[in-house]
Amino acid sequence: MKKKIITLYIFMILAACKTNYDSVAFDQYKIPLKPDFSKTESWAVLPGNYPEDLKSLVKETMSKKADVFFVYPTLLTDKKNSDWNADVMIESTKDYIRSTAVKYQASAFAAAGNLYVPFYRQAHYRIFVDGYKDQGLPAWDIAYEDVKTAFQYYLEHHNQGKPIIIAAHSQGSMHARQLIKDFFDDKPLQNQLVAAYLVGTRIFKDEFKTIKPLTNPSAIGGFVSWNTFKMNKLPKSYERWFVGGVVTNPITWDNQNESDIEDHKGVLNKDLKVYPKSLKIKKIDGLLWSSVPKIPGRILLSVVKNYHYADINLFWGDIQDNVQERVNHWFEVNQ
């Protein structure tokens, strides 16, 4: 487990370097089996079936009045793996998703609602790398179709009219963005949307027709988004991937461009402890700058510039409180 967490901490450093991948053109005859979302094994998390790592962080209950639908980020990153889509029938793949994205990211939202996390045949990381992405464009469609199918099944069999939080990170947020367009934007289901947390990818202010950025900590029916980088540092890809994107303040949840360290509610660290008053932030065009968190093991973070991998767990305590505040306000408005 320690090795896996360290891998996540240094992954974005390695991804920024020039890398070579084992890669082949997309082959429609080598697509992994599609998940069957009527079966429990096609979900990383379902109410009443929370993994032990998640139970250690949040109290599982079947009586929450809201739902959370979470789409995890890119975890298929092995340079020697030439597959274009993840095989979610493999138990080691499922375990890795639960022990990383579910534990450190989805857990931030779980106290506010019944958590649903589908396994999906996500696209390999190299789809974001020049020289490879055109080979595997159909893999992206397969990944989204799984997310869409899972959400449709959730609506038909689980939701029962409850308010919905959409939460996601990185590749997951890209799929969630399309999910918002297909199901919520200027559609009746928008009335059930508490908020969409579209973290770790660029979302423009006018991305949607009727769903707008939220600039008040209790506001509902819109979206928040941010991409985190080390204070006073810019990625080489800044103009290409970040400029113009919405940057939410994930500590104050309003229009403040900066926040004090005293306002920060907590990093979820790899020791599964939450460390409040650990960092301060500053918003710039398309990026959220963060100071190096004051947590055990911060030496690892001090040499990293890109905090993308930690977009959610840097603000774990802040997110947990904010999601609950928005849910409470949704019920105040809709009673």
CA distances in angstroms from 202 to 18, 55, 109, listed in the order given: 23, 31, 21
Closest CA to 290 of 275, 276, 274, 301: 301
Q: Are 84 and 139 in contact (CB under 8 A)?
A: yes
In a domain, 112, yes or no: yes
Structure tokens at 97: 């998703």
In a domain, 317, yes or no: yes
Give the burial string for 110-145 (b: 16+ CB within 10 Å, else e): bbbbbbbbbbbbbbbbbbbeeebeebbebbbebbbe
Per-residue pLDDT of the chain (335 residues; tens, 9 = 90+): 444 444 444 443 334 444 588 877 777 768 999 999 999 999 999 999 999 889 888 877 667 999 999 999 999 999 998 899 999 999 999 999 999 999 999 999 999 999 999 999 999 999 999 888 788 889 999 999 999 999 999 999 999 999 999 999 999 999 999 999 999 999 999 999 999 999 999 999 999 999 999 999 999 999 999 999 999 999 999 999 999 999 999 999 999 999 999 999 999 999 999 999 999 999 999 999 999 999 998 887 788 899 999 999 999 999 999 999 999 999 999 98
Q: What pLDDT score does 185 carry?
A: 98
Closest CA to 230 of 287, 294, 295: 287
* Structural domain count, the chain: 1
Among the residues of 29-121, which ranges form H helices?
Answer: 52-55, 91-97, 107-110
In a domain, 263, yes or no: yes
Give the burial string for 264-292 (b: 16+ CB within 10 Å, else e): bbbbbbbeeebbeebbbbbbeebbbbbbb
In a domain, 284, yes or no: yes
First-to-final CA distance of the chain: 45
| pTM for the predicted model, two decimal places | 0.93
- The phi and psi torsions of 123 (rounded to 5 degrees) equal -80, 145
In a domain, 23, yes or no: no
Q: What is the separation of C-alpha 278 from the centre of its chain, rounded to a whole number of angstroms?
A: 21
In a domain, 21, yes or no: no
Range of the domain at 228: 2-11+30-334
In a domain, 20, yes or no: no
Q: Return the SS3 of 298.
A: helix
- The phi and psi torsions of 306 (rounded to 5 degrees) equal -95, 115
Q: What pLDDT score does 298 carry?
A: 85
- The phi and psi torsions of 267 (rounded to 5 degrees) equal -85, 135
Q: What pLDDT score does 113 carry?
A: 96
In a domain, 150, yes or no: yes
CB atoms within 10 A of CB 217: 17
